[in-house]
Amino acid sequence: MLTKIKNYYRPFFQYRNWIKYSIYTSIILLLILFDILTKIGVYQLYIDRFGSIPDDVVRINSNLYSFFGMINIRLSFNTGAAFSFLSNDSFGRIFLPLLSLVMFIVLFYFYTVYFDRIPEFGLLAFVLILAGCFGNLVDRFGRLANNPYYYRGVIDFIDVSHVFRFNAIFNIADVCVVASFVTIILGLIYIGINTMLIKKHETAQYD
């Protein structure tokens, strides 16, 4: 049985471009670190400026910073998924961390095993969604463990409601997840257009 497993995975790891894999994986780690540091940094800045935060506070209305009146830095605690989706305390507290963990394991498996077969835009999408998934995973398990930074929920702080007119506050991990889907869509559009142009060129040659 062990021999079969080794033979199955050998083609994926024997000819792996480890330098390229290391670069992409390092970017994932850097994005995760940036997400965690920005969340903790904003939380600590609020403590330094406004003092302690009451335990029952979900969103603080006072802006920490405002950039050109379009992007506001405002602390919020999300007990649900991205953009406050499924923010039901009893359901999300247990289900969402487990769901995030399963998603991360599955995505990292495909990223690692099929790395050399994935196109560049697909690798970029994997980098972004893995970083985003793990970033919020840290928050949710930190909440389960009653960590001082995370026990209220996932830390959100980017408020663009003045620009896009929707009442949602998000974080770097959420940005990574959305950017991954945008990357996939743009990549598929590029492949579709490129395929059409190639077929058109081949047809013109025969004519």
Model confidence pLDDT, tens digit, residues 13-71? 555 688 899 999 999 999 999 999 999 888 888 888 777 766 655 566 667 777 766 78
Provide the residue count of the chain: 207
How confident is the model at residue 83, as a pLDDT? 43
| CA 52 from centre of chain | 29
Amino acid letter, 163: V
CA-to-CA separations, 102 to 12, 35, 84, 122, 128, in angstroms, rounded: 22, 20, 20, 20, 17
Average pLDDT of the segment spanning 153-158:
82
How confident is the model at residue 2, as a pLDDT? 52
Closest CA to 28 of 176, 163, 185: 176
Assign 84 a pLDDT band (cuts: 50, 70, 90).
very low
Residue 126 in tokens: 């994997």
CA-to-CA separations, 13 to 46, 69, 109, 167, 189, in angstroms, rounded: 47, 50, 13, 46, 31
Assign 179 a pLDDT band (cuts: 50, 70, 90).
very high
Average pLDDT of the segment spanning 181-207:
81
Separation between Cα atoms, residue 185 and residue 202, nearest integer Å: 26
Residues 6+ away with beta carbon under 8 Å from 178: 82
**Mean pLDDT over the full length of the chain:** 78
Given a contact cutoff of 8 angstroms between Cβ atoms, the answer to whether 96 and 84 are in contact is: no
The model carries a pTM of 0.79
Backbone phi, then psi, for 103, in 5-degree steps? -60, -45
Q: Helix, strand or coil for residue 54?
A: coil
How confident is the model at residue 192, as a pLDDT? 85
How confident is the model at residue 7, as a pLDDT? 57
CA-to-CA separations, 130 to 1, 16, 149, 157, in angstroms, rounded: 31, 20, 22, 20
- The more confident residue out of 11 and 135 is 135
- The more confident residue out of 56 and 150 is 150
| CA 206 from centre of chain | 47
